[in-house]
Amino acid sequence: MTQTVESTNPKAPTTPKETAPAGTEVSTPKAPRIPDALKRRVPKYSDLAPLMQFKKPEFSKAARLNRASTIWELRDIAKRRTPKAPFDYTDGAAEAEITLRRAREAFLNIEFRPGILRNVSSIDLGTDILGKPSRLPVGIAPTGFTRMMQSEGEYAGSQAAEAAGIPYTLSTMGTASIEDVAEAAPNGRNWFQLYLWTDRDRSLELIERAARAGNDTLMVTVDTAVAGARLRDVRNGMTIPPALTLKTVLDASYRPAWWFNFLTHEPLTFASLSRYTGTVADLINSMFDPTLTFEDLDWLRETWKGKLVVKGIQTVDDARKVVDHGADGVILSNHGGRQLDRAPIPFHLLPDVKEAFTKDNSDAAIILDTGIMSGADIIAALALGADFTLIGRAYLYGLMAGGRAGVDRALQILEKDMTRTMALLGVNKLSELTPDHVRILGK
């Protein structure tokens, strides 16, 4: 019999001979065997060969864009490739930029509540918006001076939207004409965004041109009685077109491709006026009508025969009123934080507007923008009651990062985000999303 004796007395002898009783055979425990996998050895080439997958560095535009996995990464590329003034015009907001920061934080301060054990092998992101199908629940928002951000401008945006099967909205302050955008994307769903001017004849001319060019939806923006205080533009001395000063020339030395494209393409022209030279704020204040009322919305409803949506809704009461005055849809928007700082956050307003429309038995579309930087943001908005969302900065970052290919990449990123988020929530199609899938933290 073999026996090992352990002592609990710290002063007791520790050797087997000292601790074992007389006549007892003692054996020492054997060290455990070391698995072959844990023994060190000189690596063989056959083991190393599969690991050595060195690739030649790629510096092409396609490679650069493919490395971007998020809209934020596209923004980083855009910032490196775009002069400060046009980049800040896109990236910035009004005054202290509190509204924009809060809008983005609103999407961060949510908790998704997924369902498990669902068959999510097939995800359908298609939806109907204002009577027509859209392959994705997102469209491109109207943005002014778009060819200033990158020379392909509205042409890249409209063609990317056409390829993705989503709506594209041309701004009154866009840098391509209504007719040229229609020609560039003849099979796309083109919308036109209108700022009502004090000169109603000029507004009527634009409306008629939009109708003749096949635009099926008119988007009237109503949150611009005057221009917001966009302080980045003031500090940068932002003008339309960008002025060649010592400061801009020095800035251009780091971004020669932008200036080469800008100077070798057609000068900036606008959807609504042939040429303008001056500051952004002066242009806006010369065009916007501070006397705009609901009676003007009635005039628009009588004049425009297609779908009419109103952009810039920031209260439940105003959402109801514009529907009463004939709007087919409302866009909950604070102009990307570019007008009134500390304005209401559209994502926070969304559930209240949805509840009000449900009580009113209204079928008016609820569209949302401001702060969207991922497909998960879009899915959260749809779960809380939005029918559709718009993206502005998110697609412009792609445009500045790589022209048309950059816009395509931005839409690819958002689509992939949405598909993954839907699958992880346990839903197959957008109609299955409910407010139960999202909880706003702190409420």
Catalytic residues: 335
Roughly what angle, to the nearest 10 degrees, separates helices 71-81 and 84-91? Answer: 150
Whole-number Å distance between alpha carbons of 116 and 108: 23
The encoded tokens of residue 411 equal 């839409």
Are residues 138 and 414 in contact, defined by beta-carbon separation less than 8 angstroms? yes
Cβ(169)–Cβ(262) below 8 Å: no
Tokens of 23: 């006549």
List 442's β-bridge partners, or say none: none
Q: What is the 3-state secondary structure (H, E, C) of the chain?
A: CCCCCCCCCCCCCCCHHHHCCCCCCCCCCCCCCCCHHHCCCCCCHHHHHHHCCCCCCCCCHHHHHHCCCCHHHHHHHHHHHCCHHHHHHHHCCCCCCHHHHHHHHHHHCEEECCCCCCCCCCCECCEEECCEEECCCEEECCCCCHHHHCCCHHHHHHHHHHHHCCEEEECCCCCCCHHHHHHHCCCCEEEEEECCCCCHHHHHHHHHHHHHCCCCEEEEECCCCCCCCCHHHHHHCCEECCCCCHHHHHHHCCCHHHHHHHHHCCCCCCCCCCCCCEEHHHHHHHHCCCCCCHHHHHHHHHHCCCEEEEEEECCHHHHHHHHHCCCCEEEECCHHHCCCCCCCCHHHHHHHHHHHHHHCCCCCEEEECCCCCCHHHHHHHHHCCCCEEEECHHHHHHHHHHHHHHHHHHHHHHHHHHHHHHHHHCCCEHHHCCHHHEEECCC
Q: Measured between alpha carbons, how far is 312 from 423 in angstroms, rounded to an integer?
A: 32
